[in-house]
Amino acid sequence: MSVAKRIIPCLDVADGRVVKGVQFVDIRDAGDPVAVARGYDQQGADELTFLDITATHEGRDTTFQMVEQIASEVFIPLTVGGGGREVNDIRNLLNHGADKVGINSAAVSNPEFVKAAADRFGSQCIVVAIDAKQVGEHWEIFTHGGRKPTGINAVEWAARMVDYGAGEILLTSMDRDGTGDGFDLALTRAISDAVAVPVIASGGVGNLDHLVDGVTLGGAEAVLAASIFHFGTYTVAQAKATMAAAGIDVRL
Amino acid sequence: MIVGVIDYGMGNLHSVSKALEHAGPDWDVRLIDSPDQLAACDRAVLPGVGAMGACVQGIKDAGFDTALQTFVQTKPMMGVCVGMQALFTRGDESGGVEGLDWVKGEINHFPTSIRQQGLKIPHMGWNQIEHHDHALFDGIAPGERFYFVHSFRSVDVGSPYVAATAIHGERFVAAIIQGNVFATQFHPEKSQHAGLTLYSNFLNWTP
């Protein structure tokens, strides 16, 4: 008996719609986040993460409605990341049914925001998202979708964010994101070893063995992937079967 | 029949309410934000997230501590996550907090030594429970997984109120039953089918 390693499909949404279409079968409207969420729930996803790339304030309101609709039908944990800059944004997302809120750029520009959010709502709902790139012998934090360097050491940053109250770290390798070459396992291991809280590995998954490696070699508590699931290359159920065959405890 | 979800400013009320609506289509699910609304309810659910001290304070400030104590003399109540922890005698969070003391026991932090076993704090994710034979667990297989997220727990697993346990480092209390009170450390509203089954059992429960 132990807590299962989690598999988390990640969806990009804008103005309440899924972008970068999901192509697995049995969904009439691949842009409908509720239908997509339901589909992943049926496949056995352990959680869902929505990355909100909405640019406008008006669009944020549709995000709240979207979260509320999904949380009304899909009874697994939902994380919403992107765009949150104020305690009020977090409260709105939680009130509409999000279980956790991801904070990324806002944590870098104002680390106290993480502390304020964790004090107010509890560490269990504060996920600090870290986008890291290898620079020489170590990794640095990048913001704004990996475009903006900060000069901050990623391992030290993760430890600081946990001190500030982050309950989980969503770690994305910007070097691997979109490559299909697998997670940056050295980065994942370095951060997992540095913090007590769970680390979600992200960026680079191209096949199911990569998910196994993220857990066994990277030390991740959870693995996040987008394209391998969205394009129907693999189902969440297949991913779990592969992980179970490798001796990893998963929820079947 | 009416089930009241206690709104004292803490907790994921939306998810709990929606899960209850799914689990009990014939039930009227209401948010209850003042103790005088409790009298109309046939069941009550006490959610809770975040810090135990803040939850206990919120419950007391809103006057729900005495109102719920009266309620459970005759009707069933279900606590969820910190809504379970708040019922204990005390917790060691931030140097020590007093609970409502309905059940005798302590809520303590997971020891950091469990990291040497590769375990993380918070305990976050789907873990298996071992439950006693009880109508509240009808349809729940032995070893069923539920979604947990917490850094504090009770290890008083030998206490008479313990109804289910789980293991993270050591065995801890995953659910309690005492009189008309049922409570879970995990989140049924985030535990897919198994969670909805549990809520359904609670709505159908006649202690």
What percentage of chain B carries pLDDT values higher than 90? 92
Confidence of residue B196 (pLDDT cuts 50, 70, 90): very high
- Nearest residue in B to A118, CA atom: B50
Quote the CA–CA distance of B117 and A222 in Å, as a whole number.
17
Which stretches does DSSP call E strand in A1-157? 6-14, 17-18, 48-52, 78-81, 100-103, 126-135, 138-143, 148-153
* Contact across the interface for B14 and A95, Cβ inside 8 Å: yes
Quote the CA–CA distance of A159 and A147 in Å, as a whole number.
23
Angstrom distances, CA of residue B179 to CA of A85, B79, B102: 45, 13, 11
Give the mean pLDDT of A178-189.
96
Angstrom distances, CA of residue B176 to CA of A172, B14, B33, B189, B198: 39, 24, 25, 17, 13
Measure CB to CB from residue A123 to each of B118, B122, B126 and give the nearest one. B122
Classify domain B2-203 at the CATH superfamily level: Class I glutamine amidotransferase (GATase) domain (3.40.50.880)
* 3-state SS class at B65: helix
- The 10s digit of each residue's pLDDT in B30-50 is 999 999 999 999 999 999 888
* Contact across the interface for A3 and B22, Cβ inside 8 Å: no
**Minimal CA separation from B106 to chain A, in Å:** 20
- The answer to whether B187 touches B125, Cβ cutoff 8 Å, is no
**Minimal CA separation from A252 to chain B, in Å:** 9
Task: Report which DSSP code applies to A171.
Answer: E
**Total H helices, total E strands in chain B:** 5, 14
* Contact across the interface for A75 and B189, Cβ inside 8 Å: yes
Quote the CA–CA distance of A202 and A81 in Å, as a whole number.
14
Quote the CA–CA distance of A34 and A18 in Å, as a whole number.
9
**Minimal CA separation from A12 to chain B, in Å:** 22
* Contact across the interface for A198 and B124, Cβ inside 8 Å: yes
- List the single range of A16-20, B85-89, B116-120, B177-181 with lowest mean pLDDT: A16-20
Please indicate if any CB of chain B lies within 8 Å of the CB of A65: no
- The answer to whether B199 touches A34, Cβ cutoff 8 Å, is no
Please indicate if any CB of chain B lies within 8 Å of the CB of A221: yes
pLDDT over threshold 60, residue A76: yes
CB-CB neighbours of B191 under 10 Å? 25
Quote the CA–CA distance of B35 and A150 in Å, as a whole number.
51
Please indicate if any CB of chain A lies within 8 Å of the CB of B149: yes
- The answer to whether B52 touches B101, Cβ cutoff 8 Å, is no
Q: How far is CA A52 from the centre of its chain?
A: 11
Enumerate the active-site residues of A.
Answer: 12, 131
Within 55-74 of B, beta carbons closer than 8 Å to A belong to none
On chain B, the residues whose CB falls within 8 A of the CB of A94 are: 12
Measure CB to CB from residue B18 to each of A3, A71, A219 and give the nearest one. A71
At A84 the pLDDT is 72
Q: How far is CA B54 from the centre of its chain?
A: 16
**Domain map of chain B by residue range?**
2-203
Give the mean pLDDT of A89-118.
91
User: Catalytic pick from B41, B81, B93, B168?
Assistant: B81
- The answer to whether A215 touches A248, Cβ cutoff 8 Å, is yes
Measure CB to CB from residue B12 to each of A46, A99, A167 and give the nearest one. A99
**Total H helices, total E strands in chain A:** 10, 11
pTM over 0.90: yes
- The 10s digit of each residue's pLDDT in B112-160 is 999 999 999 999 999 999 999 999 999 999 999 999 999 999 999 999 9
* 3-state SS class at A22: coil
| ipTM of the shown complex | 0.94
* 3-state SS class at A33: helix
